[in-house]
Chains A and B, each alone.
Chain A
């Protein structure tokens, strides 16, 4: 009787491709990781109390009614116009002798104005380069 010698099978896991597999996983996680940063328009709300008298010459008043129409200096204007008017106003008398901003842009809305219109107006004001922006409280009905 012929006894054949049993062949031993290799029991090792091939490790040559381990790095490739790990790389693949690594790249997958790198790609799928989303750094979702928040974005928006930054504002500082007025603090409570302490009313300061300001020369009305240094205030640019913007009123927005419930239909979203803008009144600037007693004239009805469009969004684009508002930006132009404000940036010329800022150039003319936006800064004092030391170059510090002195013109305050005041935005006042109606309680029925939509938030979107308010953001549009705020966007136009920020776009004109104004830094001192004040939000006036709408009148209570």
Chain B
């Protein structure tokens, strides 16, 4: 008549916990991108109006230092081959029409260099650019 009440089992099964954690671990290991240094060493200028870019997917980089060394995709571009920049950027723009060109230019560089690069970008119809700067901290 009096049946023993069956107690529902309480407690979280922990046997599969290591598996779950390992899964998470592998996920993070796979998605972690180890930053490969690229470009040439430059000193970026500081600006108060520095904004973060939403995504890196549509970015192409142009590096330039104060000695007028220009580098795109880890390849140095000699000053005589300045006009090849527009071809390179044009090809990138064809592959991705939302391209933003990020200009990583040394703060000691002269505007003549910046203008020459910009003229190349205009030739390639790559008008959306980003001047790479860092946040200004003046305390």
Measured CB to CB, the residues of A under 8 A from B are: 15, 18-19, 22-23, 25-26, 29-30, 32-34, 36-48, 109-116, 118-120, 122-123, 126-127, 135, 137-138
Query: Using Cβ atoms and an 8 Å threshold, which residues of chain B touch A138?
Result: 111-112, 115
Contact A110 B111 (CB under 8 A): yes
B110 within 8 A of A: yes
A-binding segment of B5-13, B46-54, B75-83, B91-99 = B46-54
> In the complex, which of the residues A36, A42, A126, A135 contacts B130, with contact meaning CB atoms closer than 8 Å?
A42
Which 3 A-B pairs rank lowest in CB-CB distance, beginning with the nearest? A116-B107, A111-B112, A22-B21
Interface residues of B in 13-54 (CB under 8 A from A): 14, 17-18, 21-22, 24-25, 28-29, 31-32, 35, 45-53
Query: Using Cβ atoms and an 8 Å threshold, which residues of chain B touch A22?
Result: 18, 21-22, 25
Instruction: Report the minimal beta-carbon distance from A17 to chain B, rounded to whole angstroms.
Output: 9
Contact B112 A122 (CB under 8 A): no
> Secondary structure of the A side of the interface?
mixed
B133 within 8 A of A: yes
Instruction: Report the minimal beta-carbon distance from B29 to chain A, rounded to whole angstroms.
Output: 6
Query: Using Cβ atoms and an 8 Å threshold, which residues of chain B touch A32?
Result: 32
Contact B111 A127 (CB under 8 A): no
Query: Using Cβ atoms and an 8 Å threshold, which residues of chain A touch B107?
Result: 114-116, 119
Beyond the given A115-B107, A116-B108, could you list 10 further A-B residue pairs with CB under 8 A, ordered by the A residue number? Answer: A22-B22, A30-B28, A40-B132, A42-B130, A43-B129, A111-B111, A123-B48, A127-B49, A137-B119, A138-B115
Instruction: Report the minimal beta-carbon distance from B93 to chain A, rounded to whole angstroms.
Output: 13
Contact B130 A45 (CB under 8 A): no
Contact B49 A115 (CB under 8 A): no
Query: Using Cβ atoms and an 8 Å threshold, which residues of chain A touch B48?
Result: 123, 127
